[in-house]
Amino acid sequence: MAHKLFSLVMMLVLALPVVIFAFAGDEYKAPTPAEVMQNQIADAIKIYGEKKEMFRKDVLDLFERKEKFARDKGDLKTLNQIKKEKDAFFENGKDPTLFFVTDQKRFLELAKLDLIKAYEKTIKDCLKMKLDVEAEGFSKDLEEIKAGKVKAVVKKAKPIFLEAPFSAEAAKTAQMELAKSLNKPIEAMIDLGKGVKLEMVLIPAGKFMMGSPASEVGRKDNEAQHEVTLTKPFYMGKYEVTQEQWQAVMGNNPSQIKGARLPVTNVSWNDCQDFIKKLNAKTNGGYRLPTEAEWEYACRAGTTTAYSYGDNITKSDANYGPGGKSVAVGGYKPNAFGLFDMHGNVWEWCEDFKTGTNHILRGGSFGFKESTARSSHQGNYIPTYQDVFGGFRLVRIS
């Protein structure tokens, strides 16, 4: 079994195909021998890595067969040598892939020699067909190969990037893949002390249409649609900042309507900056208010409708409308990114200026009509403004 596997992989790696030139305009460009070799080496290494445990068993079988052969011949010297090699291999936990290709330098040299032969044949074929320019190009590549400049290439992972519209499933998949690639959690939990936690959700980079179409009910003139690309992922607060979180950082609670899990209110844009400054000093830092584009992208979560729930919203979807009061965060279903209360409950300050010194608020609030809770709706106030309807959520660069 081991011998067959070894032979199979070595054939895969070292048997470079004969280069055939098919002249069919610009529709197809054959890979160069260098590219073929690089891909084959990378594939072989990948195969070895994926089947490491199977190879380890095969190595053991190989040692046992060698021992039996030496024992049957009565060759005690060879038998003792094999046992020493076997013990050293398993005691040191050596990689079985390195056992099969015992001398990687020699392995690569053999591949390089085969590549040189392929290049030399290609150059001769080009000259026969009077393709002097092509022959000259391959000659330059050949010199680099002989100089040892050709190495196995490991492809970089494709960046995780979402382009709206995208499904809830695509959003979840992107979050999982991004978390894996960054070696970070999809949901980060930061300890603020005394059992109070700050929960953040990882949001992948992406592209979307910000604003609303002219046909959207409740649309305002300041919602002209335009394409926005967010090039970097970020963490966003799973919930609006709560009163217990504000208390843990600031040591007070300015909210008119009290409740530990209620969103903190009666905070101005300037107050939010003071909170962020203290939070950054208390933790590893990196926190800020979201930009308006980050907020809308995160709120939409791949949707192009008026709300992340569709073109209509009901009282079972969010806390909005005349009367009422703020409610505990997380009481309604989250959007596709896992963010709660992006529509309604309380207005949320953004980092951006609107006009003059005014800063933008998003998301609508209890006490306001449903159209103000649309994904694209924006309000704005001076940075010192405070009221019972206004709060915020945080962003942290991943």
pLDDT score of 203: 98
DSSP state of 241: P
Residue type, 265: T
pLDDT score of 92: 58
pLDDT score of 354: 86
CATH code of the region 161-397? 3.90.1580.10
Say if CB 170 and CB 204 are below 8 A apart.
Answer: no
pLDDT under 50: residue ranges of the chain: 1-29, 98-105, 151-156
Q: Is the peptide bond before 290 cis (omega within 30 degrees of 0)?
A: no
* Residue extents of the structural domains in the chain: 2-146, 161-397
> Encoding tokens for residue 194?
């005394």
> Encoding tokens for residue 68?
């039996």
Distances (CA, A) of 213 to 218, 221, 285, 342, 393: 11, 11, 38, 20, 27
Question: Position of tokens 């709206």?
Answer: 164
Nearest to 224 by CA among 378, 362, 74: 378
pTM for the model stands at 0.64
If phi > 0 it is left, if psi is from -120 to 50 it is alpha, else beta; for residue 217 that is beta
Residue type, 126: C
pLDDT score of 187: 97
Q: How far from each other are the two terminal CA atoms of the chain, in whole angstroms?
A: 47
